[in-house]
Amino acid sequence: MDAALAPAPRLVDRHGRTISYLRISVTDRCDLRCRYCMAEQMTFLPKSAILSLEEIAVIAERFIARGITKIRLTGGEPLVRRDVGQLVTRLGRQIGAGLDELTMTTNGNALAQHAATMVAAGIRRINVSLDSLDPETFRYITRHGDVARVISGILAARDAGLAVKVNMVALKGLNDDQIAPMLDWCIAERLDLTLIETMPLGQIDEDRADRFVPLTAVFDDLAAHFPLQRDPHRSGGPARYWRVGDTATRLGLISPLTANFCDTCNRVRLTTEGVLYTCLGHDDHVDLKTILRQDGINGLDAALDAALASKPARHDFDIAAASPAVARHMSVTGG
């Protein structure tokens, strides 16, 4: 496949928002089963249903030609996909040729093995999901994870030259008493920390409303114990940032329920089976895999324009609703 078509107009949705950020789920599989993300017994897609790494690269390159400047590889867990390093290396060649940044969100389990490949490909920063430093709490949230392995991966990535941001989902009664200690640890290790409100995506085995913690209250707690100063830093995503005193650490907040950020949304998401979602909280989508396989790359531009023409103004998340906002799990859409 040849992705080298002439540049086309930048991607702008019907609300006038320029789309510059593509999140790609390279697999729906994960080697953990975090309670807020997945059911314990998950049914994953067969290999025949997912995009090849070549197809992911071709679609991504067309997005870059249309003005995407940042790509994040996600999952599931992206590092469980065989040969994912080849995709990282190929996309890394686009940095400076239209792409400003290639990055990844990972659970850290395989980070130590892949950090050098990431750095060589041009990745400079990554997000690592880590919801607790306590071994028992971490094992409970992930159902079988080993926090020592994740911490080793984080420190190996940092030492390899990657800037690491820890992503922590705030969960009432599970880890809300561990947020301040996590921030202390990030300060000591010169890492950034972003806190995230749990989102109603996919049916899980628990009631998310029972675990919901509003980050407004968390921030007030932290501000009473840490010198937090608003930081104008923007990472290209939805987080708002504060500098923690004179340390090297930034604190970020992603609060889709208590501080909606849809007005400035610049993101679309490509699933591992080639479906493009223009909103995390809606089911409107375009099947890019079928279009690519039937019409080749020439069919992609019209499909992208049609998708952006239907992008909603905002999500409809309601943590207290009887059913999730959408049936698909975060691991399907890409975290």
Tell me: the pLDDT tens digits for 150-185?
999 999 999 999 999 999 999 999 999 999 999 999
Q: How many CB atoms lie within 10 A of CB 2?
A: 9
More confident residue, 95 or 235: 95
Confidence of residue 256 (pLDDT cuts 50, 70, 90): low
Q: Is the pTM of this model over 0.85?
A: yes
Which tokens is 255 given?
């609060």
Which tokens is 181 given?
């200690």
265 annotated to a ligand binding site: yes
30 annotated to a ligand binding site: yes
What residue ranges do the domains of the chain occupy? 21-333
Least confident range from 87-96, 102-111, 315-324: namely: 315-324
Give me the amino acid identity at 62: R
Question: Exposed e or buried b for every residue in 35-68, given b needs 16+ CB within 10 A?
Answer: bbbbeeebeeeeeeebbebebbbbbbbbbbbbbb
Residue 318, pLDDT score: 44
Residue 4, pLDDT score: 52
186 annotated to a ligand binding site: no
Burial class (CB in 10 A: 0-12, 13-18, 19+), 5: middle
- Cβ atoms of 23 and 272 within 8 Å: the answer is no
d(CA 172, CA 87): 37
Please state the φ and ψ torsions of residue 94, each to the nearest 5 degrees: -85, -10
Name residue, tokens 């019209």.
302
105 annotated to a ligand binding site: yes
Between the alpha carbon of residue 256 and those of residues 13, 198, 305, the distances in Å are 20, 9, 26
- H or E stretch including 73? strand 70-74
Percent of the chain's residues with pLDDT above 70: 86
Q: What is the pLDDT of residues 43-68, one digit of tens each?
A: 899 999 999 999 999 999 999 999 99
279 annotated to a ligand binding site: yes
72 annotated to a ligand binding site: yes
Residue 204, pLDDT score: 47
Look up the CATH number of domain 21-333.
Answer: 3.20.20.70
Residue 258, pLDDT score: 57
17 annotated to a ligand binding site: no
Residue 25, pLDDT score: 96
d(CA 14, CA 2): 29
User: What's the mean per-residue pLDDT of the chain?
Assistant: 88
Q: How far apart are the first and last CA of the chain?
A: 28
Mark out the alpha helices in 1-83 (DSSP H runs): 53-65
103 annotated to a ligand binding site: no
Least confident range from 40-54, 158-172, 191-205, 231-245: namely: 191-205
More confident residue, 206 or 222: 222
Residue 208, pLDDT score: 55
